[in-house]
Amino acid sequence: MKLGLIFSSLLYFVILMLMQNQGCKGCLEKERIGLLEIKHYILSQQDKGDSYNNKELGSWIDDRDSNCCVWNRVKCSFGHIVELSIYSLLYLFPDPNMLNVSLFRPFEELRLLDLSKNNIQGWIDNEGFPRLKRLETLDLSGNYLNSSILPSLNGLTALTTLKLGSNLMKNFSAQGFSRSKELEVLDLSGNRLNCNIISSLHGFTSLRSLILSDNKFNCSFSTFDFAKFSRLELLDLSINGFGGSLHVEDVQHLKNLKMLSLRNNQMNGSIEGLCNLKDLVELDISYNMFSAKLPECLSNLTNLRVLELSNNLFSGNFPSFISNLTSLAYLSFYGNYMQGSFSLSTLANHSNLQHLYISPENSGVLIETEKTKWFPKFQLKTLILRNCNLNKEKGGVIPTFLSYQYNLIFLDLSRNNLVGSFPSWLIDNHNMNYLDISNNNLSGLLPKDIGIFLPSVKYLNFSWNSFEGNIPSSIGKMKQLEYLDLSQNHFSGELPKQLATGCDNLQYLKLSNNFLHGKIPRFSVNMFGLFLNNNNFSGTLEDVLENNTGLGMLFISNYSITGKIPSSIGMFSDMQVLLMSGNLLEGEIPIEISNMAILQMLDLSQNKLNGSIPKFSSLTSLRFLYLQ
């Protein structure tokens, strides 16, 4: 008896290994052929010359030795295809598609089917769906469907996740849909639903995630009855037209809620009604009109990892309950009307904190970091402390706790009247891609190796300070740099050639109001915005324009530029703002300027130009013209 049991176990093990080997070798032949039929259908629908689908389905080849389990957009388990992604393969077709669902009959073990963004408005043959008895997730978002398709999904007896976002649903009716009680995830975002939607969903009693964002509801949040949704863990009602206040009774049945988003509505009043949602992990109420003080009862929400309060009308002092929310990874007070002082040492024990945003709309906030000696347990990736009167009582010193931060990617300390030299600890954050220390009183030289220590920076703003000396040539090693603003400082010397030739992705260069001189080097990159005004540069307009035919904004007023305006200036068809006043330009204004069809502002005043003024009747976008 025992021997037979051992033999049975060994046999089961061998069969299991064979099945796993089957999964490694490839999918079933009928499923491989099924994929090729889908490819043929897709390619037969596309326009000639469309290479996207050919590339996406390039691995789907008619070769029996080809393992279709490693084909693009396919996942297998034990030799069966369990996930199939057809998203966007029919998206570029000019007309809505009637999908032939029978193409999916061979895939009886399919667990996930993604048909999103395909301009589907219905099916030709519904008989393919009932065969998919194991399908758990169906993504039909980004199509032209309405709720009339629901009964055709009744055969999907394992379905738990249904995504219908970004379709054409105005009224939602589950009549004839037998799977409503089993669905756990329903996404109806980006449709045209009205305020009756919640009552229409009362039959969906097993829902754990309900996404109704971007439907432009025009009603009060209190009109929604959530009594039938006690199992909900995620509720997304963002980007709608909700008005009114938030009351305790509005959410009293949502005891299991872990994620709530009311972002971008028009709700007002207090948020005290949220204090009983003790299981909340993420709360986003940004871009509303909530006001008054933040209620201290929010200290009950000790599981919070995300607290997004930005762009409301909250006032009063910073709440003391923040010290209790030690699980926070993301905290934003951005764009409110708080006042009084707040010490960042309150957050010293928040070891999970990675993202912190404080940027008040008023000037009554004093953020301090230096009253006590403290060492943070967190490592920040994002820090915004803008317009915070940072360490005002200590003379505007740069926060010392930042010298212990090594993972910073995004840092904004602008508008704080900070003093001192360039903070040397910044060079320890090699992954930094956004740095803004503008509108302070920082001075001294920039580190000569700044471009080596910060190679990943895309946005760099040091404007409105008192930095001096030469612009470091190592900035030319910032290969990812797209935006550089060094204006309103005391930089001198010539512009380094490395900046012009090394910053391959530079789109905006702002050097206005410094003491730079010499000739402008030839730029190897085609920028959109070039701001060189109020310096002592020399040369001709051709020097500036060369290799920059994509310019949309050119500021070279008070530049000492000489020579004539070349007729080639008409080639700059993207130009929107052209300011060249206060130079030594001479000769006539070329008629080719009238080719700048989207030019909005033109200033040629205070030069030595002569001759007749061309007709600018073709410049229909022109709003400001200065020629005196």
Task: Please state the domain extents for the chain.
Answer: 22-135
Amino acid symbol at 328: L
The CA-based angle 393-399-404, given to 5 degrees, is 155
Q: What is the pTM of this model?
A: 0.90
- Amino acid identity, residue 204? F
- Give the strands of the sheet with 313-314, arranged side by side: 268-269, 289-292, 313-314
Chunk the chain into consecutive blocks of 10 residues (it has 628) and report each block's average pLDDT, rounded to whole numbers: 49 43 65 96 74 87 93 96 94 77 94 96 78 95 92 93 95 86 96 92 95 92 90 97 88 95 96 95 98 94 98 95 97 96 96 98 94 95 98 94 95 97 90 97 97 96 98 97 99 95 96 95 90 93 86 94 92 95 95 94 96 89 93
Q: pLDDT at position 88, please? A: 92
CATH number for the segment(s) 22-135: 3.80.10.10
pLDDT of residue 135: 97
Cα–Cα nearest to 154, from 117, 181, 115, 187:
181
Q: CA 532 to CA 539: how far, in whole Å?
A: 13
- Please, which contacts does 300-306 make with residues 24 or more away whose CB atoms are closer than 8 Å? 300/275, 300/276, 301/274, 301/275, 301/277, 301/325, 302/278, 302/326, 302/327, 303/258, 303/278, 303/279, 303/327, 304/280, 304/328, 305/281, 305/329, 305/330, 305/352, 306/281, 306/282, 306/330
Residue 4 confidence (pLDDT) = 52
Residue 47, classified by CB atoms within 10 Å of its CB into exposed (0-12), middle (13-18) or buried (19+), is: exposed
What are the backbone angles phi and psi of residue 358, rounded to the nearest 5°?
A: -135, 115
Spatial neighbors of 546 by CB under 8 A, at least 6 apart, are 522, 523
pLDDT of 13 reads 46
The token pair at 511 is 């050097």
Cα(331)–Cα(386) distance, integer angstroms: 15
